[in-house]
Amino acid sequence: MQPSRPHNTKTAPQTAPATAPRWLLPTLVGYSWASCKADLLAALVLSAMLVPIGMSYAEASGVPAIYGLYATIVPLIIYTLVGTSRILVLGPDSALAGLIAISILPLAAGSSAHAVALAAILSIITGGLCVLAGLLRLGFVTDLISTPIRYGYLNGIALTVLVSQLPKLLDLTLPAGSLWQHLLLLGQALGQVSWLGWPSLIGIGCLSLILCCRYYRPRWPAVLIAMVLSTLVVYLMSLSTMVAVIGQIPQGLPSAQWPQVSWPEVQRLLPAALAIALVAFADMSILSRSYAQRLGVSVYPNRELIALGLSNLGSGLFQGFTVSSSASRTPVAEAAGSKTQMTGLFSAVLILLFLMLAPNLLSHVPKAALAAVVIAACWSLIEYRAVKALYRLRRSEFWTSIMCFLGVAIFGVIEGIFLAVGIALGLFIWRAWQPYSAVLGRVDGMKGYHDIQRHPEAKQIEGLLLFRWDAPLFFANQGQFRRTLQRHIAQAQRPIRCVVIAAEPITDVDTTAAEMLCELDQLLQQQQITLYFAEMKGRSKDWLRHYDLFQGQPQRFFPTIGRAVNQYVQDFAVDWLDWEDRALADTSGKSI
């Protein structure tokens, strides 16, 4: 099924106008003055948050702060033109900051200009991959990332970025190294008093203010307040020589240019681009689906994938870096009264005006305050309560999440992402390879036939084995199907004369499984055991006909398990009276 193709609007006319994806400013169709005023007011609130966060995530990504504004402006404009979500806000993201920094900084060799070029080409490659995946309708790929796996890699990314920002927060200089080496060096540095000073006081103060506001005054614009107060402290107390600040930033609009990067560097960035594209779209998919459900509209993953790709292509061409949807700024836009995607366009215009008219207002922003913003964002990424709940709900998924977390923390963010996807594929294969199966019996007073493991009181019919396989039959699990069925036959208390496969869960049968069924039928015939199928879906039955299996034997297939049981009782003259028949007989006797 392709959810991105709106072919079913006739069945749901009430949502068709809101969900039909239209390109090129879809929100302008029927756009009213009331919506315009609401979007403009929301843009004023959103822009005040976008500026400091964009600069903070730029620093965390390994490029100068101004490029965070470029990576904010261009995606907002492009997504307004081609995006399908009414409320989504795109821009620099804390979950991607660590991925970008780890990917480009080893290649940049300390050059800020080269880091900018590497970040831009990484955004272009990521955008191209997203557009290609969207055109190929590969939006379903993100379904491979389950919630426990997402918790694991987000926790790992949050820890990695948090540790990388702590030296900036505390004005420490640490050599390059792994996450665990950084933690060790941080522990040694904190044991000394030399880190205490104005930079660390400003950083810790900003972080404390943001976290306190988050818990006690969640409606306050904590990030904006922290940035304004820290900038005023630096400016009024003339601390620019003692505290690292952003400094002079370029005035005017971002210019379009192709990043000057060598082909070997592009090749080295390809795995990182693939991982970043997967993470960016996974986050965007989850967020867009959540808001689509809240707003009562549909989501079109392939269109969103293309929109994300075009936004990243534009960001890279205008000296920005990779962006995604924001789980922190999208709620701000909604709470501020945003009605349409024009909020993003208005926000981009406001930031452009700010860069053209008053760029020097940002020159005294301390970098420690930017680090505090990133650390606070990473703190909100950590899903410790959800992981704790997984331990209580399902231990296997808890350990899957922990493995993904350790993979990111030990091997690195890029390797950890691919490890997470590998674990997801492995779990999928394992569950399809080892599906649940059951022997069925009849329970007095209950309709149908039920698993005897869950209902030990269930009665089995002498000489009959009712076997249910809860998965499609294909090459990976056909051997397990055969072995499980033969084991149940061998362990039966009395000799089995007939096997009925309760085939409703078997939605597909491939050629390998078909060969197995043919061989199994011949083996059972040698043992004088009859093989029946009950409740098999028409498509699966069509496949068996296509494979020339059981041709001319309609008595092998029954619409219900009850009909198959009745046929067995009749063919083998088994002494069996169903509880429903007994109840009917009792009722008939009383009526006489």
DSSP assignments along 418-453, one per residue: HHHHHHHHHHHHHHHHS--EEEEEE-TTSSSEEETT
Q: Mapping DSSP to helix (H, G, I), strand (E, B) and coil, where does residue 273 land?
A: helix
- Print the SS3 string covering 507-551: CCECHHHHHHHHHHHHHHHHCCCEEEEECCCHHHHHHHHHCCCCC
Average pLDDT over the chain reads 82
**Amino acid identity at 476:** A
Q: What is the pLDDT of residues 93-104, one digit of tens each?
A: 877 888 899 899
247 sits in the region (left: phi over 0; alpha: psi -120 to 50; else beta) called left
Which of 56-60, 123-127, 337-341 has the weakest average pLDDT? 337-341
| pLDDT at residue 377 tops 60 | yes
Percent of the chain with pLDDT over 70: 85
**What is the pLDDT confidence band of residue 467, given thresholds at 50, 70 and 90?**
very high
**What is the pLDDT confidence band of residue 316, given thresholds at 50, 70 and 90?**
very high
**CA dist 417 → 145, 287, 455 (Å):** 10, 19, 42
Nearest C-alpha neighbor of 354 from the set 90, 48, 77, 55: 48
Q: How far apart are CA 410 and CA 145, in angstroms?
A: 20
Q: Residues of 28-52 as b/e, b for ≥16 C-beta within 10 angstroms?
A: eeeeeeebeebbbebbebbbbbbbb
User: Cβ atoms within 10 A of the Cβ of 331, count?
Assistant: 14
Q: Mapping DSSP to helix (H, G, I), strand (E, B) and coil, where does residue 101 land?
A: helix
Q: DSSP character for 63?
A: S
Tokens 């979950």 map to which residue? 95
Q: Mapping DSSP to helix (H, G, I), strand (E, B) and coil, where does residue 238 land?
A: coil
What phi, psi does 316 have (nearest 5°)?
-65, -40
User: Cβ atoms within 10 A of the Cβ of 160, count?
Assistant: 24
| pLDDT at residue 455 tops 60 | yes
**What is the pLDDT confidence band of residue 404, given thresholds at 50, 70 and 90?**
confident
Q: How far apart are CA 154 and CA 279, in angstroms?
A: 9
Who's near 86: CB < 8 A, 6+ residues apart?
18, 27, 295, 297, 339, 340, 341
Q: How far apart are CA 65 and CA 248, in angstroms?
A: 11
Q: What is the pLDDT of residues 17-41, one digit of tens each?
A: 334 444 545 556 667 778 888 888 8
Average pLDDT over residues 138-153: 76
Nearest C-alpha neighbor of 438 from the set 448, 446, 426, 428: 448
- Print the SS3 string covering 285-351: HHHHHHHHHHHCCCCCHHHHHHHHHHHHHHHHHCCCCCCEECCCHHHHHHHCCCCCCHHHHHHHHHH
Nearest C-alpha neighbor of 387 from the set 56, 45, 152: 152
Residue 181 CA from chain centroid, whole number = 30
| pLDDT at residue 14 tops 50 | no
User: Cβ atoms within 10 A of the Cβ of 582, count?
Assistant: 11
Could you tell me the pTM of the whole model?
0.66
Q: How far apart are CA 225 and CA 211, in angstroms?
A: 12
**What is the pLDDT confidence band of residue 47, given thresholds at 50, 70 and 90?**
confident
Average pLDDT over residues 409-415: 75
pLDDT value, residue 341: 83
Q: How far apart are CA 487 and CA 482, in angstroms?
A: 9
**What is the pLDDT confidence band of residue 363, given thresholds at 50, 70 and 90?**
confident
Average pLDDT over residues 48-53: 80
